[in-house]
């Protein structure tokens, strides 16, 4: 079996660490693995497949002999360095927002639009984590009836903001529990996140929505190649460490029975149906943390809409919402 040289840019971040673990778990045919990060982390070690590898500083000459470059170091870094990876002959799979809406860059969730992978010109974009989790759940429904409108509210874990978000929730919680609430400080989030819920992720735009919310709108339309689909999102940060939850109300063009929707979801790749409300069986963040599937439950008719379905969707945003999605793209690339 051919092996592939893989670079991971942003290897010390929350998603970068998960890249390494998933490559190992899924036995991706890695020849050489090159861990890359900023000069602050250069020289440190990471463990991969039982070997200690030295982190190298990311620069424009980092990608010689690299086949696939996995980027998760932020949009500004991707914009600066992805072009050098492509010039060196690598395919870039980028987890930032840098290229998602560029016309010639495929925006891919393999369960939804894997056919777009091979239309790349060197760069393939990973969607936003909350978008990925949502569209995996929408796809089986869309396949039996096109979707007219989606109302989504997200409940997003702090690890979606990176390692700093995790550290901030840990530190604030510790201080408050120890009776030191007066010394709580915040930096990653706009206000205290511990014991709080914040309806504010990313910057606010002139239309009153945040950038995070509009990412869900524009990315979903691009992924489905359906710009008639209307989407309204409210993105909320909650004090849990892992897994994003989403409340979805979906209006389809055709009237669908709950049985048809349930069957479609049950038979779909990448979805685990947990839907037995009489016995309190429904997805939670604990169910989905460190898991690869998107979990769906609380399936019901939307009583406010003739063609409406409501449901609750949960997924680990570091795995399916980020690293796993990118590695699934890479698996299709090498398999095609």
Q: What is the pLDDT of residue 336?
A: 63
Cα–Cα dist 156/74, whole Å: 19
How many other CB atoms are there within 10 angstroms of residue 121's CB atom? 11
Give the residue-averaged pLDDT of 23-47.
97
Q: What is the pLDDT of residue 240?
A: 97
Is pTM beyond 0.85 here?
yes
193-215 pLDDT tens trace? 999 999 999 999 999 999 999 99
53-91 pLDDT tens trace? 999 999 999 999 999 999 999 999 999 999 999 999 999
CA distances, 67 to each of 2, 122, 209 (Å): 12, 11, 39
Give the residue-averaged pLDDT of 17-35.
97
What are 295's two structure tokens? Answer: 């979990």
Q: What is the pLDDT of residue 163?
A: 82
Residue numbers annotated as active site:
129, 244
CATH number of 4-127+322-335: 3.40.50.720
The mean pLDDT value of the chain amounts to 97
104-129 pLDDT tens trace? 999 999 999 999 999 999 999 999 99
Contacts 24+ apart (CB under 8 A), 73-81: 73/9, 73/10, 73/13, 73/16, 73/36, 73/37, 73/38, 74/10, 77/9, 77/10, 78/9, 81/9
Domain segments of the chain: what residues?
A: 4-127+322-335, 131-317
282-319 pLDDT tens trace? 999 999 999 999 999 999 999 999 999 999 999 999 99
Give the residue-averaged pLDDT of 45-50.
96
CATH topology of domain 131-317: Dihydrodipicolinate Reductase; domain 2 (3.30.360)
CA distances, 87 to each of 62, 121, 241 (Å): 11, 11, 38
If we measure between CA atoms, which residue out of 240, 265, 266, 249 comes closest to residue 318? Answer: 240
143-177 pLDDT tens trace? 999 999 999 999 999 999 988 999 999 999 999 99
pLDDT band of 1, cuts 50, 70, 90: confident
pLDDT band of 281, cuts 50, 70, 90: very high
């Amino acid at each position: 079996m051919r092996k592939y040289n893989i670079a991971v840019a942003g290897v010390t971040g929350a998603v970068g660490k998960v890249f390494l673990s998933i490559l190992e778990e899924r036995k991706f045919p890695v020849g050489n693995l090159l861990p890359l990060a900023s000069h602050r982390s250069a020289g440190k070690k990471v463990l991969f497949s039982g070997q200690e590898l030295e982190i190298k500083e990311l620069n424009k000459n980092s990608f010689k002999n690299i086949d696939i470059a996995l980027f998760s170091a932020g949009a500004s870094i991707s914009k600066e360095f992805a072009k050098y990876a492509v010039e060196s002959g690598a395919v870039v799979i980028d987890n930032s927002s840098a290229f998602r809406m560029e016309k010639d860059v495929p925006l891919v969730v393999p369960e939804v639009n894997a056919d777009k992978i091979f239309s790349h010109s060197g760069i393939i974009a990973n969607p936003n984590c909350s978008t990925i989790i949502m569209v995996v759940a929408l796809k089986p429904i869309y396949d039996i009836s096109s979707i007219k409108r989606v109302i989504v509210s997200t409940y997003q874990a702090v690890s979606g903001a990176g390692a700093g978000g995790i550290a901030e929730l840990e530190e604030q919680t510790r201080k408050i529990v120890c009776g030191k609430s007066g010394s709580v400080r915040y930096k990653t989030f706009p206000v205290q996140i511990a014991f709080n819920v914040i309806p504010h992720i990313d910057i606010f735009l002139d239309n009153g929505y945040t950038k995070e919310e509009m990412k869900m709108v524009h990315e979903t339309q691009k992924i489905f190649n359906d710009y008639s689909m209307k989407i309204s999102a409210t993105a909320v940060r909650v004090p849990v460490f892992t897994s994003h939850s989403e409340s979805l109300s979906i209006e389809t063009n055709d009237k669908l029975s709950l049985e048809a929707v349930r069957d479609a979801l049950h038979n779909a790749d990448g979805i685990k149906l947990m839907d037995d409300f009489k016995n309190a069986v429904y997805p939670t963040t604990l169910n989905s943390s460190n898991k690869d599937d998107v979990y769906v439950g609380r399936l019901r008719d939307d009583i406010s809409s003739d063609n409406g379905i409501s449901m609750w969707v949960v997924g680990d945003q570091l795995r399916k919402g980020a690293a796993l999605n990118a590695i699934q793209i890479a698996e299709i690339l090498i398999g095609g």
